[in-house]
Copies of this chain bind each other. A is one copy, B any other.
Amino acid sequence: MSFNTFGHMFRVTTFGESHGVAIGCVVDGCPPMIPLTEADIQRDLDRRRPGQSRFTTQRQEPDQVKILSGVMAHPETGVQVTTGTPIGLLIENTDQRSKDYSEIKDKFRPGHADFTYEAKYGLRDYRGGGRSSARETAMRVAAGAIARKVLPDVRVRGALVQIGPHKIDRDKWDWDEIAKNPFFCPDKDKAAFFETYLDGIRKSGSSIGAVIEVVADGVPAGLGAPIYAKLDSDLAAAMMSINAVKGVEIGAGFGAAELTGEENADEMRTGNDGTRFLSNHAGGVLGGISTGQPVVVRFAVKPTSSILQPRLTVDRQGADTEIFTKGRHDPCVGIRAVPVGEAMMACVLADHFLRDRGQVGR
Protein backbone atom coordinates (compact mmCIF):
# COMPACT_ATOMS: atom_id res chain seq x y z
CA MET A 1 0.00 0.00 0.00
CA SER A 2 1.06 3.57 -0.20
CA PHE A 3 -0.69 5.41 2.59
CA ASN A 4 2.29 7.59 3.36
CA THR A 5 4.68 6.55 0.61
CA PHE A 6 4.94 7.64 -2.99
CA GLY A 7 7.10 6.47 -5.86
CA HIS A 8 8.30 3.00 -6.80
CA MET A 9 12.02 3.20 -7.49
CA PHE A 10 12.51 6.61 -5.91
CA ARG A 11 10.35 6.07 -2.86
CA VAL A 12 9.46 8.72 -0.33
CA THR A 13 7.78 7.91 2.98
CA THR A 14 6.83 10.82 5.22
CA PHE A 15 5.65 10.98 8.81
CA GLY A 16 4.91 13.56 11.44
CA GLU A 17 2.25 15.95 12.62
CA SER A 18 2.21 19.71 12.53
CA HIS A 19 2.57 20.15 16.27
CA GLY A 20 4.27 16.88 17.19
CA VAL A 21 7.89 16.27 18.08
CA ALA A 22 9.18 16.30 14.54
CA ILE A 23 8.39 15.62 10.92
CA GLY A 24 10.54 13.38 8.80
CA CYS A 25 10.87 11.26 5.74
CA VAL A 26 12.76 8.33 4.31
CA VAL A 27 13.99 8.54 0.71
CA ASP A 28 14.59 5.00 -0.51
CA GLY A 29 16.08 3.99 -3.83
CA CYS A 30 18.37 6.96 -4.40
CA PRO A 31 21.37 5.81 -6.44
CA PRO A 32 24.78 5.80 -4.75
CA MET A 33 27.65 8.23 -5.34
CA ILE A 34 25.51 11.36 -5.66
CA PRO A 35 27.01 14.30 -3.74
CA LEU A 36 24.50 15.38 -1.11
CA THR A 37 24.67 17.69 1.90
CA GLU A 38 22.12 19.18 4.23
CA ALA A 39 22.74 22.52 2.54
CA ASP A 40 21.53 21.07 -0.77
CA ILE A 41 18.21 20.28 0.84
CA GLN A 42 18.03 23.36 3.01
CA ARG A 43 18.18 25.60 -0.04
CA ASP A 44 14.86 24.25 -1.31
CA LEU A 45 13.30 24.17 2.12
CA ASP A 46 14.08 27.82 2.61
CA ARG A 47 12.10 28.68 -0.50
CA ARG A 48 9.02 27.04 1.00
CA ARG A 49 9.54 28.26 4.54
CA PRO A 50 6.64 30.17 6.12
CA GLY A 51 7.01 33.55 7.71
CA GLN A 52 8.95 35.09 4.89
CA SER A 53 6.32 37.62 3.95
CA ARG A 54 2.99 38.81 5.23
CA PHE A 55 1.33 36.71 2.55
CA THR A 56 2.21 33.40 4.14
CA THR A 57 1.61 32.04 7.61
CA GLN A 58 3.55 33.84 10.32
CA ARG A 59 4.50 30.58 11.98
CA GLN A 60 8.24 30.89 12.53
CA GLU A 61 10.03 27.63 11.89
CA PRO A 62 13.67 27.51 10.97
CA ASP A 63 12.89 24.14 9.37
CA GLN A 64 16.44 22.97 9.81
CA VAL A 65 16.80 19.58 8.14
CA LYS A 66 19.08 16.84 9.44
CA ILE A 67 20.30 13.92 7.35
CA LEU A 68 20.19 10.87 9.62
CA SER A 69 21.44 8.19 7.26
CA GLY A 70 22.29 7.19 3.71
CA VAL A 71 25.33 9.41 3.16
CA MET A 72 29.00 9.20 3.99
CA ALA A 73 32.26 10.86 3.08
CA HIS A 74 33.59 9.17 -0.03
CA PRO A 75 36.63 7.15 1.08
CA GLU A 76 38.84 8.64 -1.62
CA THR A 77 37.50 12.13 -2.28
CA GLY A 78 36.07 12.95 1.13
CA VAL A 79 33.02 14.44 -0.57
CA GLN A 80 29.80 13.48 1.17
CA VAL A 81 27.85 11.20 -1.17
CA THR A 82 24.80 8.98 -1.10
CA THR A 83 25.46 5.31 -0.41
CA GLY A 84 22.42 3.70 -2.01
CA THR A 85 20.87 3.04 1.40
CA PRO A 86 17.77 4.88 2.65
CA ILE A 87 18.18 8.55 3.44
CA GLY A 88 16.46 9.49 6.68
CA LEU A 89 15.59 13.16 7.06
CA LEU A 90 14.30 14.94 10.14
CA ILE A 91 13.02 18.40 10.97
CA GLU A 92 12.26 19.06 14.59
CA ASN A 93 9.18 21.11 15.33
CA THR A 94 10.38 24.11 17.29
CA ASP A 95 7.41 26.44 17.13
CA GLN A 96 4.80 24.32 18.83
CA ARG A 97 3.56 27.24 20.82
CA SER A 98 1.22 26.38 23.62
CA LYS A 99 -2.11 27.49 22.37
CA ASP A 100 -5.79 27.35 23.10
CA TYR A 101 -7.25 24.64 20.89
CA SER A 102 -10.58 24.42 22.69
CA GLU A 103 -12.38 26.07 19.78
CA ILE A 104 -11.31 23.59 17.11
CA LYS A 105 -10.93 20.58 19.39
CA ASP A 106 -14.65 19.92 19.35
CA LYS A 107 -15.80 21.73 16.21
CA PHE A 108 -15.23 20.73 12.60
CA ARG A 109 -13.82 23.54 10.50
CA PRO A 110 -15.65 23.68 7.14
CA GLY A 111 -13.30 22.93 4.26
CA HIS A 112 -10.84 21.23 6.60
CA ALA A 113 -10.04 17.57 7.08
CA ASP A 114 -11.36 17.74 10.66
CA PHE A 115 -14.62 16.02 9.89
CA THR A 116 -13.23 13.34 7.63
CA TYR A 117 -10.32 12.32 9.87
CA GLU A 118 -12.78 11.99 12.72
CA ALA A 119 -15.15 9.99 10.50
CA LYS A 120 -12.38 7.64 9.48
CA TYR A 121 -10.25 7.23 12.56
CA GLY A 122 -12.60 8.17 15.37
CA LEU A 123 -10.19 10.86 16.50
CA ARG A 124 -7.92 13.50 15.02
CA ASP A 125 -4.94 15.51 16.07
CA TYR A 126 -6.59 18.91 16.35
CA ARG A 127 -3.33 20.69 17.14
CA GLY A 128 -2.53 22.67 14.03
CA GLY A 129 -4.19 20.18 11.72
CA GLY A 130 -1.97 17.29 12.78
CA ARG A 131 -1.13 15.10 9.85
CA SER A 132 -3.39 17.03 7.48
CA SER A 133 -1.36 20.20 7.94
CA ALA A 134 0.58 21.64 5.01
CA ARG A 135 3.61 21.27 7.26
CA GLU A 136 3.95 17.74 5.85
CA THR A 137 4.87 19.27 2.51
CA ALA A 138 8.21 20.39 3.93
CA MET A 139 9.33 16.78 3.65
CA ARG A 140 8.21 16.62 0.03
CA VAL A 141 10.38 19.62 -0.71
CA ALA A 142 13.29 17.94 1.04
CA ALA A 143 12.78 14.76 -0.99
CA GLY A 144 12.43 16.83 -4.14
CA ALA A 145 15.83 18.40 -3.52
CA ILE A 146 17.32 14.91 -3.62
CA ALA A 147 15.29 14.01 -6.70
CA ARG A 148 16.74 16.99 -8.52
CA LYS A 149 20.22 15.61 -7.90
CA VAL A 150 19.19 12.30 -9.48
CA LEU A 151 18.32 14.25 -12.63
CA PRO A 152 21.16 16.73 -13.13
CA ASP A 153 20.14 17.64 -16.68
CA VAL A 154 16.52 18.35 -15.87
CA ARG A 155 15.42 21.77 -14.63
CA VAL A 156 12.15 21.93 -12.73
CA ARG A 157 10.63 25.34 -12.13
CA GLY A 158 7.27 26.44 -10.81
CA ALA A 159 5.33 29.65 -11.01
CA LEU A 160 2.14 31.08 -9.63
CA VAL A 161 -0.02 31.93 -12.66
CA GLN A 162 -3.35 32.90 -11.12
CA ILE A 163 -4.76 34.23 -7.85
CA GLY A 164 -8.50 34.35 -7.61
CA PRO A 165 -9.82 35.35 -11.02
CA HIS A 166 -6.60 37.20 -11.87
CA LYS A 167 -4.33 35.41 -14.33
CA ILE A 168 -0.86 36.50 -15.29
CA ASP A 169 -0.10 37.83 -18.74
CA ARG A 170 1.78 34.98 -20.42
CA ASP A 171 3.51 37.33 -22.79
CA LYS A 172 5.22 38.91 -19.80
CA TRP A 173 6.48 35.59 -18.42
CA ASP A 174 10.00 36.06 -17.08
CA TRP A 175 11.48 33.26 -14.99
CA ASP A 176 13.88 35.72 -13.41
CA GLU A 177 10.98 37.52 -11.77
CA ILE A 178 10.06 34.44 -9.72
CA ALA A 179 12.69 35.11 -7.08
CA LYS A 180 11.97 38.81 -6.91
CA ASN A 181 8.48 38.77 -5.46
CA PRO A 182 6.87 36.88 -2.59
CA PHE A 183 4.45 35.09 -4.93
CA PHE A 184 6.76 33.14 -7.26
CA CYS A 185 5.02 35.15 -9.95
CA PRO A 186 6.73 35.38 -13.37
CA ASP A 187 4.76 38.47 -14.40
CA LYS A 188 6.27 41.53 -12.73
CA ASP A 189 3.21 43.74 -13.16
CA LYS A 190 0.80 41.12 -11.91
CA ALA A 191 3.04 40.54 -8.89
CA ALA A 192 2.70 44.19 -8.00
CA PHE A 193 -1.06 43.86 -8.34
CA PHE A 194 -1.14 40.71 -6.20
CA GLU A 195 0.56 42.59 -3.39
CA THR A 196 -2.31 45.04 -3.10
CA TYR A 197 -4.93 42.42 -3.85
CA LEU A 198 -3.76 39.97 -1.23
CA ASP A 199 -3.39 42.69 1.37
CA GLY A 200 -7.09 43.31 0.93
CA ILE A 201 -7.89 39.63 1.25
CA ARG A 202 -5.73 39.31 4.32
CA LYS A 203 -7.16 42.35 6.07
CA SER A 204 -10.70 41.19 5.49
CA GLY A 205 -9.87 37.91 7.21
CA SER A 206 -10.62 36.03 4.05
CA SER A 207 -8.53 33.87 1.73
CA ILE A 208 -8.33 33.11 -1.96
CA GLY A 209 -7.41 30.29 -4.35
CA ALA A 210 -4.63 30.11 -6.90
CA VAL A 211 -3.24 28.20 -9.88
CA ILE A 212 0.35 26.98 -10.08
CA GLU A 213 2.26 25.90 -13.16
CA VAL A 214 5.29 23.63 -13.00
CA VAL A 215 7.56 23.14 -15.99
CA ALA A 216 10.35 20.59 -16.41
CA ASP A 217 12.91 21.27 -19.11
CA GLY A 218 15.42 18.73 -20.32
CA VAL A 219 13.25 15.67 -19.77
CA PRO A 220 14.37 13.01 -22.23
CA ALA A 221 11.80 11.40 -24.50
CA GLY A 222 10.66 8.01 -23.26
CA LEU A 223 9.90 8.48 -19.55
CA GLY A 224 6.63 7.06 -18.33
CA ALA A 225 5.01 3.71 -18.81
CA PRO A 226 1.68 2.60 -20.13
CA ILE A 227 -0.98 1.99 -18.94
CA TYR A 228 -1.25 2.63 -15.22
CA ALA A 229 2.13 4.20 -14.64
CA LYS A 230 1.71 6.88 -17.26
CA LEU A 231 3.87 9.90 -16.55
CA ASP A 232 0.83 12.18 -16.56
CA SER A 233 -1.15 9.79 -14.40
CA ASP A 234 1.62 9.77 -11.79
CA LEU A 235 1.93 13.56 -12.02
CA ALA A 236 -1.81 13.92 -11.51
CA ALA A 237 -1.68 11.75 -8.40
CA ALA A 238 1.36 13.62 -7.11
CA MET A 239 -0.12 17.09 -7.53
CA MET A 240 -3.58 16.09 -6.29
CA SER A 241 -1.97 14.72 -3.13
CA ILE A 242 -0.78 18.23 -2.20
CA ASN A 243 -2.96 19.87 0.42
CA ALA A 244 -5.89 21.90 -0.95
CA VAL A 245 -5.35 20.94 -4.59
CA LYS A 246 -8.63 20.41 -6.44
CA GLY A 247 -7.57 20.12 -10.09
CA VAL A 248 -4.63 19.06 -12.24
CA GLU A 249 -4.04 19.48 -15.94
CA ILE A 250 -1.27 18.65 -18.40
CA GLY A 251 -0.41 20.88 -21.35
CA ALA A 252 -3.59 22.30 -22.85
CA GLY A 253 -5.52 20.60 -20.05
CA PHE A 254 -9.19 21.48 -19.81
CA GLY A 255 -8.62 23.81 -22.72
CA ALA A 256 -8.06 20.72 -24.89
CA ALA A 257 -11.77 19.97 -24.59
CA GLU A 258 -12.44 23.02 -26.71
CA LEU A 259 -9.93 22.26 -29.43
CA THR A 260 -10.35 20.42 -32.71
CA GLY A 261 -8.05 17.62 -33.66
CA GLU A 262 -6.15 19.86 -36.06
CA GLU A 263 -5.60 22.51 -33.41
CA ASN A 264 -4.60 20.12 -30.67
CA ALA A 265 -2.22 17.77 -32.48
CA ASP A 266 1.34 19.05 -32.14
CA GLU A 267 2.92 18.84 -35.57
CA MET A 268 6.48 17.58 -35.95
CA ARG A 269 9.46 18.62 -38.03
CA THR A 270 12.98 17.36 -38.20
CA GLY A 271 15.41 19.77 -36.58
CA ASN A 272 19.16 19.81 -36.46
CA ASP A 273 19.24 17.74 -33.34
CA GLY A 274 16.32 15.41 -33.95
CA THR A 275 12.59 15.64 -33.96
CA ARG A 276 10.96 18.74 -32.61
CA PHE A 277 7.36 19.68 -32.14
CA LEU A 278 5.83 22.88 -33.49
CA SER A 279 3.61 23.31 -30.43
CA ASN A 280 3.14 21.70 -27.02
CA HIS A 281 -0.55 21.19 -26.38
CA ALA A 282 0.45 17.76 -25.12
CA GLY A 283 2.43 19.32 -22.27
CA GLY A 284 5.32 17.02 -23.07
CA VAL A 285 3.41 13.77 -22.65
CA LEU A 286 1.79 11.53 -25.29
CA GLY A 287 0.35 8.13 -24.46
CA GLY A 288 1.70 8.56 -20.95
CA ILE A 289 5.31 8.85 -22.16
CA SER A 290 7.44 11.98 -22.36
CA THR A 291 7.98 13.50 -25.80
CA GLY A 292 11.22 15.33 -25.03
CA GLN A 293 9.40 18.67 -24.89
CA PRO A 294 8.96 20.54 -21.62
CA VAL A 295 6.60 18.72 -19.26
CA VAL A 296 3.95 21.23 -18.22
CA VAL A 297 1.55 20.70 -15.31
CA ARG A 298 -0.89 23.11 -13.73
CA PHE A 299 -2.85 22.64 -10.55
CA ALA A 300 -5.56 24.58 -8.76
CA VAL A 301 -5.31 25.29 -5.05
CA LYS A 302 -8.45 26.12 -3.14
CA PRO A 303 -8.51 29.06 -0.71
CA THR A 304 -7.29 28.49 2.83
CA SER A 305 -10.16 27.11 4.89
CA SER A 306 -8.95 28.72 8.10
CA ILE A 307 -10.47 32.18 7.92
CA LEU A 308 -11.56 34.85 10.32
CA GLN A 309 -15.07 34.90 8.89
CA PRO A 310 -17.50 32.85 10.99
CA ARG A 311 -18.98 29.80 9.28
CA LEU A 312 -21.78 27.43 10.16
CA THR A 313 -20.64 24.03 11.39
CA VAL A 314 -21.40 21.22 13.82
CA ASP A 315 -19.47 19.96 16.80
CA ARG A 316 -18.36 16.47 17.77
CA GLN A 317 -21.49 16.06 19.83
CA GLY A 318 -23.60 16.70 16.76
CA ALA A 319 -24.94 20.13 17.70
CA ASP A 320 -25.14 23.06 15.28
CA THR A 321 -22.68 25.85 15.99
CA GLU A 322 -20.40 28.44 14.39
CA ILE A 323 -16.64 28.64 14.05
CA PHE A 324 -13.97 31.05 12.96
CA THR A 325 -10.29 30.30 13.01
CA LYS A 326 -7.88 32.58 14.75
CA GLY A 327 -4.16 32.24 14.39
CA ARG A 328 -1.40 32.35 11.83
CA HIS A 329 -2.61 31.34 8.40
CA ASP A 330 -1.87 31.98 4.76
CA PRO A 331 -4.31 34.23 2.92
CA CYS A 332 -3.33 32.20 -0.15
CA VAL A 333 -1.89 28.74 0.49
CA GLY A 334 -1.31 28.46 -3.22
CA ILE A 335 1.83 30.59 -2.94
CA ARG A 336 3.76 28.12 -0.84
CA ALA A 337 2.50 25.31 -3.04
CA VAL A 338 4.90 26.42 -5.79
CA PRO A 339 8.06 24.77 -4.40
CA VAL A 340 5.94 21.80 -3.33
CA GLY A 341 4.69 21.32 -6.88
CA GLU A 342 8.25 21.54 -8.15
CA ALA A 343 9.31 18.90 -5.66
CA MET A 344 6.55 16.51 -6.68
CA MET A 345 7.44 16.94 -10.36
CA ALA A 346 11.11 16.23 -9.58
CA CYS A 347 10.23 13.13 -7.56
CA VAL A 348 7.94 11.70 -10.25
CA LEU A 349 10.55 12.27 -12.96
CA ALA A 350 13.32 10.73 -10.84
CA ASP A 351 11.09 7.74 -10.15
CA HIS A 352 10.42 7.11 -13.83
CA PHE A 353 14.03 7.72 -14.74
CA LEU A 354 15.15 5.03 -12.30
CA ARG A 355 12.49 2.59 -13.52
CA ASP A 356 13.93 2.84 -17.01
CA ARG A 357 17.62 3.07 -16.17
CA GLY A 358 17.75 1.17 -12.88
CA GLN A 359 19.04 2.17 -9.47
CA VAL A 360 22.63 1.08 -10.07
CA GLY A 361 24.61 -0.47 -12.86
CA ARG A 362 24.61 2.29 -15.42
Contacts and interface: CB of A to CB of B under 8 A. Distances in A.
A209 B264 contact: yes
Nearest to A105: B75
Contacts of A252: 246, 302
Given A15-B70, A83-B130, A247 B256 contact: yes
A62 interface: no
Contacts of A225: 3, 120, 359
B311 A68 contact: no
A52 B313 CA distance: 49
B253 A300 contact: yes
A26 interface: yes
A154 interface: no
A233 B120 CA distance: 17
A14 interface: yes
A78 interface: no
A254 B254 contact: yes
B228 A4 contact: yes
Interface string A302-326: 1111110101111000111000000
Interface residues of A, number: 160
Contact of A358 (B116, B127, B358): B358
Given A22-B68, A75-B123, A256 B13 contact: no
A33 to B, nearest CB: 6
Interface stretch (A169-177, A179-187, A275-283): A275-283
Contact of A72 (B70, B125, B291, B319): B125
A229 interface: yes
A84 B130 CA distance: 12
Contact of A22 (B74, B88, B211): B88
8 contacts: A3-B229, A13-B26, A72-B123, A85-B131, A115-B291, A119-B292, A247-B257, A261-B304
Contacts of A206: 260-262
A113 interface: yes
B265 A307 contact: yes
A124 B241 CA distance: 33
Interface in A78-119: 81, 83-88, 90, 105, 108-113, 115-117, 119
A318 B70 contact: no
Interface in A227-247: 227-230, 232-241, 243, 246-247
A221 interface: yes
A147 interface: no
Given A123-B81, A286-B112, A356-B360, A311 B267 contact: yes
